[in-house]
Amino acid sequence: MTCISHPLIRPESLEERRYQLSIALRALDGNTMVVLPTGLGKTAVALLVAASRLYSHDGRVLMLAPTKPLVEQHWRFFRKFLLVSAESEPDDADYAMFTGETPPEERAAAWERCRICFATPQVIKNDCIAGRYSLADVSLLVVDECHRAVGNYAYVFLAQHYITNAADPLLLAMTASPGGDAAKVQEVCTNLGIAAVESRVESDEDVRPYIHERDVQYIDVLLPEELQEVLTLLRKLVESRLQKLAGFGFRVPKPQSLSMRALNQLNVQIQERIRTREPTAFMAASLYAECMKLRHAVSLAETQGSVALRLYLDRLGAEGRSTAGSKAAKRLANDAAFLEIVKRSRAWTAELHPKAGITLELVRAQLTAYPESRIIVFATYRDTVQSLVDHLSAGGVACERFVGQATKDAEKGLSQKQQIETLTRFRAGEFKVLVATSVGEEGLDVPSTDMVIFYEAVPSEIRSIQRKGRTGRSGAGKIIVLVTKGTSDEAFRYVSQNREKAMISGIQNLRSPLRDGQAPAVPPLPSATRQTDFTAFPARAPAGPAVTVDDRETASRVVEVLHNLGAAIDLRRLDQGDYAIGDRILVERKTVRDFVDTLVERDLFGQIKALAEAVPRPVLIVEGDDLYTARNIQPNAIRGTLAAITVDMGVTLLFSRDAEDTANMLYVLAQREEGERRERKIHPRKSYRSHHEEQEYVMAAFPNIGLKHARLLLEEFGSLKAVIEADLDDLMAVRGIGAKTAEAIWDLARRPYR
């Protein structure tokens, strides 16, 4: 094996592949998207480009990936192969890894020391917005799984921020599956400032020597009679809802062809009538919601199995019985036919769908023939994943689940730390089978995985290619797709195949033409590694007004626009509101949909009351222009709510068109507040204050005491004098008053005035 020779790559460590070298050399010419099938070494290409930039340029390399396990994987790969100096071994401080679990202060300090940083994009976005460090000295930005760079994903902001602010920017974007939609691929290229695309497919001459055989098999599965009967009942429920919608004059699809496309077209008709305030429109929207729920139940019965269906029906019934449940769920929960289906499902004591048994047989056969095999089983839903883990474990197969972080219903997700630990044990062979949701599709580096099982076909060419790419990396691999006859599985199988072919053709068409008769020349290497002066690019403090932003708001477009306007943003967790301006203004931002949902399903008045009690100038911004049509609520009920918020609670109510309009409004508020702060009296004047309001006002001026806690203290002690004279223990005994706050009150009341 011939190995790469480069001063910053460990000798005799990294295999030389000509296509990787060719792509890397082209990528040094300008911002490049690299499209390579999974397993052909996109990370190795990134390492070659990083080595060149570190050797010939001052500055750092920043590598982004969407998940912590993938970040950690890149960190391990670079640590294994890359040196940051030609003269000495790298120090631990040269390689930094940032995730949401790393405290901001530690990230800022580590950034100043490191040469290469590996991070999730949201973390870097937050730090850039907060001004913790600058990307001005980053000589290479690597964006992995770059097909995500659409909409409001953090990659979009960071690419634009980097290209605008870096002294000598170079961006390398990487993906195995950009998608078959040419418009979306163009959007990704535009968002990342891509000037050239370098791609390879498995049939390319320079790639073929490194391709291992992958045997793809499709296994047809027949539904048992019990599930067929339940499917018939579910389809009758769907048909009855569609008939009602047809009676309202809507064009409805046939029950047997109830695709998401057909349902989306139906929803467009409903939304048009809602905008014109037709009386039947809101009832139609609720019937549409029932169709969506029933379609999901049909899909579970067809492709997932009886256990997943039973769990979903139980959750649907619980929603229908809940006071906060939707009207659609309540009607279903009271439908005799639906209750009959629930009754039947509860009688199932074991999994009825043959897929579970077939999966167990396939796994046993593989492990019997090849005991050291690693097998990944992909399933779309968590219920199915857990059911499969239980089924395989009962069959004597050592396996574990691999799911996302979020906790759903009663099932806890896996933290990013737990995901990394699970993958480490899987690689080490502590268990041989990993059962994963889509979180396992991107970037899993398990070279010895030699079988992948699709529990169901998936219509997305990106997901299908990502799943298939988990095998055949270092040897022959086997891919098995379970297809339930006569169901959406069959349709998705052919949709995915056609889209994969279209994407491969699109990838070939994306290629930037090679310069006639020219091969990119290897740039000469300098005689010694250049030393980097990391103080040359200090973080610049924004010149605009200060706005404190709740750290849960950073994914919104509002924060990006505020940053671009030049606001000095302080990210922290706010107890109330989303944005704080000075010590007087607290802003709650709600989209129109969030506003009406909170009004119906959660405690809107409780949220606004807490906001009003926290500061002298509470503000509510409602964002969007369809307040009276966002949900089936009487317009006068919404008007009454707005009146109560402004008149009864004293909250300033502002309306904005969109996130950009909201950001501009916040910026103007911050400018005004900063300008007036210098001349404002310590206590703003307020006329017509009652005696008890004056007492609350004085008490609320104490450190860390807002109106809410001022009232609690006065109710407990009866007067200002009693509060001031209270012992420390008595102050701490008041609900909501901690030791720190109690000490501040006690100390301030007794401190001599100088």
Please indicate, yes or no, whether residues 230 and 330 belong to a single structural domain of this protein.
yes
Q: What is the DSSP letter of 304?
A: I
433-436 β-sheet, strand order: 214-221, 477-484, 449-454, 374-378, 433-436, 399-402
Residue 323 sits in the same domain as residue 369? no
At which of 485, 509, 533 does a domain end?
509
Same domain, 177 and 290: no
| pLDDT of amino acid 508 | 66
Same domain, 388 and 337: no
Q: How far apart are CA 290 and CA 269, in angstroms?
A: 16
Side chain identity at residue 131, one-letter code? G
User: For the CA atoms of the chain, what is the radius of gyration?
Assistant: 30
Residue 699 inside a domain? The answer is yes
pLDDT per position as a tens digit, 640-694? 999 999 998 899 999 999 999 999 999 999 999 887 665 444 455 454 557 777 8
The stretch 161-175 carries a mean pLDDT of 94
Closest by CA to 114, choosing from 96, 89, 140, 139, is 96
CATH code for the domain of 95: 3.40.50.300
- What would the pLDDT profile of 190-227 be if each residue is shown by its tens digit? 999 999 999 888 778 888 787 766 778 899 999 999 99
Total number of domains constituting the chain: 5
Under 8 Å between Cβ of 613 and 699: no
Task: For 253-301, give the DSSP string.
Answer: --GGG--HHHHHHHHHHHHHHHHTT-TTHHHHHHHHHHHHHHHHHHHII
Q: Is residue 75 part of a domain?
A: yes
| Residue 289 belongs to some domain of the structure | yes
The verdict on 172 and 260 lying in the same domain is no
DSSP codes, 641-652: HHHIIIIIT--E
Q: Is 535 a domain residue?
A: no
Please tell me the predicted confidence (pLDDT) of residue 533: 43
| Mean pLDDT, rounded, of the chain | 84
CA distance 467 to 251: 37
Average pLDDT (590-618) is 87
When pLDDT is cut at 50, 70 and 90, the band that residue 180 belongs to is: low
3-class SS of residue 600: helix
Specify if 6 maps to a domain: no
Q: Do both 669 and 713 map to the same domain?
A: no
Regarding whether 487 and 415 lie in a shared domain, the answer is: yes
Where do we find the tokens 């994963």?
436
pLDDT for 462: 60
| Boundary residue ending a domain (314, 346, 378) | 346
Domain identity same for 631 and 651: yes
- The predicted pLDDT at position 349 comes to 83
Structural domain includes residue 530: no
Per-residue pLDDT at 472 exceeds 90: no
Q: What is the pLDDT of residues 332-359, one digit of tens each?
A: 989 999 999 999 999 988 889 999 999 9
For residue 697, which of 722, 720, 731 has the smallest C-alpha distance?
720
Q: What's the pLDDT score for residue 515?
A: 38
Percent helix / strand / coil, the chain, rounded to 5: 50, 15, 35
Same domain, 249 and 308: yes
Q: Name the pLDDT band for 518 (thresholds 50, 70, 90).
A: very low
CATH code (residue 697): 1.10.150.20
Percentage, residues of the chain above pLDDT 70 = 87
CA distances from 604 to 615, 638, 651 (A): 18, 12, 13
Domain residues for the domain of 605 are: 546-677
Q: Which of 509, 537, 563 is the last residue of a domain?
A: 509
The H or E element spanning position 175 is strand 171-175
Q: Do 606 and 719 lie in a common domain?
A: no
For residue 585, the cross-strand partners are 581, 617
453 in Cβ contact with 377 (< 8 Å): yes
Structure-token pair, residue 189 = 């290229």
The domain that contains 653 carries what CATH number?
3.40.50.10130
The helix/strand/coil state of 182 is helix
Comparing CA positions, the residue from 132, 130, 157 lying closest to residue 550 is 130
Residue 406, number of CB atoms within 10 A of its CB:
11
pLDDT mean over 719-737? 89
Is residue 136 predicted with pLDDT exceeding 90?
A: yes
Mean pLDDT over 438-465 rounds to 71
- Cβ atoms of 713 and 737 within 8 Å: the answer is yes
Note the pLDDT of residue 200.
86
For residue 685, give both structure tokens: 């004047």
- pLDDT surpassing 70 at residue 446: no
Overall size of the chain counted in residues: 754
Do both 140 and 110 map to the same domain? yes
**595 and 634 co-located in one domain:** yes
Q: How far apart are the first and last CA of the chain?
A: 79
Q: Answer yes or no: is 173 within a domain.
A: yes
Evaluate if residue 529 carries a pLDDT over 50.
no
Mean pLDDT of the 131-150 span: 94
Distance from C-alpha of 609 to C-alpha of 696, rounded to nearest angstrom? 16
In this model, does residue 620 exceed pLDDT 50? yes
Q: Is a pLDDT exceeding 50 seen at residue 323? A: yes
Across 100-105, average pLDDT: 86
**In this structure, is residue 590 part of a structural domain?**
yes
Q: Which of 49-63, 297-311, 359-373, 618-632 shows the lowest per-residue confidence on average (mean pLDDT)? A: 618-632
